[in-house]
Amino acid sequence: MQAPLLETQRVSKYFGFPAVLNVSIQVNSGERFGLIGPNGSGKTTLINVVTGTLPSDGGKVIFSEKEITTLPAYRRARLGMARTFQIPKPFISMTLLDNLTIPLRYAPHAEDLNADIADEALHLLRLIGIESKADKRPAELTQIEMRKLELARALALRPKLLLLDEVMAGLSSSEVDELLGILRELNQQGITILMIEHIMRAVMTFCERIAVLNAGEKIAEGTPEEILHNEEVERAYLGE
Amino acid sequence: MVNRLIVNNVSAGYGAVRILHGVSVSINEGEIVVLLGTNGNGKSTLMKCIMGMVQPDSGEIYLESDGKRIDLTDKPSEEIVNLGISLIPEGRRLFPGLTVRENLVAGAYRKDARKQLEENLRFSYETFPILEERKNQLAGTLSGGEQQMLAVVRGLMSNPKILLVDEPSLGLAPIFVSHVIHKIKELKEQFRLTVLMTEQNFNKAIQIADRGYIIVEGKIKFEGKNTKELSEHELVKKFYLGV
């Protein structure tokens, strides 16, 4: 059996209280994995510890069979993990094209690209469907375009693992479908996806496996079907 | 005499980008009106116009109160807040370096609201008990969803008569989405709160809305006199119901 692409072993993080407590998850290569739980249950904190945005206070993070627990964020990124943020964080004074050429210049494959960086940036914008806004600044984008830009910036790294923190929040159901279509395509191209999301229709149709956090601890893990019928999940998260 | 908020033929935008093209909506006292439309169609801009944060190029925005007409377009935002109109903005817009409690107190700055500060704080903590647990924590250290909860109750701290709420359930877990939506309804029933709301979770929104508008590319495309008319409209089916 192949080792998981990402593994956390009893990872903890404290902010005066345990925000994440002894959480172990395994995400297999090529998988679509969901992370759900009530607000403040530690989902984003876990992603922050995995990506190196925050140091962990215990446990191990393993990626591509290497322990990365204490690596700085940029080195984890170069190993092939990329993330999006809940509130998109583009360079607001730059055009969309420049917003992509910057991460491309620092990507592990930057040397191969060389003079083609602008082409690659345009290619990414096309892939995500915002090519027509290449010379616009982020302030002129709609919400969904902003989310798409955030996604394109993460893809500039050519990640093996894409960590998505509520990329669909605030989108209408037709926009959710559009984004899910793009994500399915990326997954088919071999990108493993870990998704934090509250839009149940999206999580339940997209993810193959789901872990549920509550007050920093993992309370359930399973297929969407199993999660939907888990009483503790219903009590803590789904409600009526 | 029914009090009303009226937006009549308003056009507005940012620089060369024109967002609203002759939008007219009216909201009667005690009604919950939902504003539907996908992103980038002008819902938030309309709310900002009402609050005086964006100056319309043309058109009128006014309150009809006890037979008097109070124009809003010539007023700064703080005077509009003083008239009892409050906005819960999209994207939370908290003071990250202030504590949870300080953010709530800041929300009660309006004179009429100060008297009821303690009562409204209690209401906020009852609505979202996690906020009381975190009351001395800096708002910037809350999780995204907790920040959303704080933004919602901060908007209520000014004791509004008219509440404009832009995507109240954004980023909330399903269990809290129901909670927020039902709190808004409770406020309407107890205090005749008037609400104009945008919400992408259509099925939740119509549980409490009385009626609504569909806005497409800055124009009102449809006015639904009740939620049935809205649910049956082809645009709603297309945008929200996945038909």
Residue B70: how many CA atoms within 13 Å on its side-chain side?
A: 16
How confident is residue B54, by pLDDT bands cut at 50, 70 and 90? very high
Contact A13, A49 (CB under 8 A): yes
Q: Using CB atoms within 10 A of its CB, is residue A155 exposed (0-12), middle (13-18) or buried (19+)?
A: buried
pLDDT of residue B242: 67
Closest residue of chain B to A44, computed from CA coordinates = B143
- A177 contacts B176? CB cut-off 8 A: no
- Better pLDDT: B204 or B103: B103
Compute the nearest-CA separation of A113 from chain B (Å). 34
Alpha-carbon gap, residue A167 to A161, rounded angstroms: 15
Give chain B positions within 8 Å (CB) of A173.
200, 202, 239-242
**What's the CA gap between A153 and A146, in Å, rounded?**
11
- pLDDT confidence of A170, banded at 50, 70, 90? confident
Closest-CA residue of chain A to B243: A174
Interchain contact A240–B (C-beta under 8 A)? yes
Q: Are strands B85-88 and A217-222 parallel, antiparallel or unpaired?
A: unpaired
* Any A CB within 8 A of B143 CB: yes
| Among the listed residues A184, A101, A85, the one whose alpha carbon sits nearest the alpha carbon of residue A135 | A101
pLDDT for A57-79, tens place per residue? 999 999 999 999 999 999 999 99
Least confident of A185-189, A211-215, B39-43: B39-43
pLDDT at B215: 94
**pLDDT score recorded for residue B227:** 93
Enumerate the domain spans of chain A: 6-80+159-238, 94-157
Note whether A169 contacts B: Cβ–Cβ < 8 A: yes
How far is the C-alpha of B127 from the C-alpha of B66, rounded, in Å? 32
Q: Which B residues, 47 through 86, put their C-beta within 8 Å of a C-beta on chain A? A: none
Residue A132 has pLDDT above 90, yes or no: yes
Of A39, A144, A169, which is closest to B143 when you measure between CB atoms?
Answer: A39
Q: Which of A15, A86, A236 sits opposite B144 (nearest CB)?
A: A86
- Cross-strand partners of A83: A163
**CATH homologous superfamily for the domain A6-80+159-238:** P-loop containing nucleotide triphosphate hydrolases (3.40.50.300)
Looking at beta carbons, which residues of chain A come within 8 Å of B170? 169-170
Q: For residue A15, list chain B residues with Cβ-Cβ distance below 8 A.
A: 141
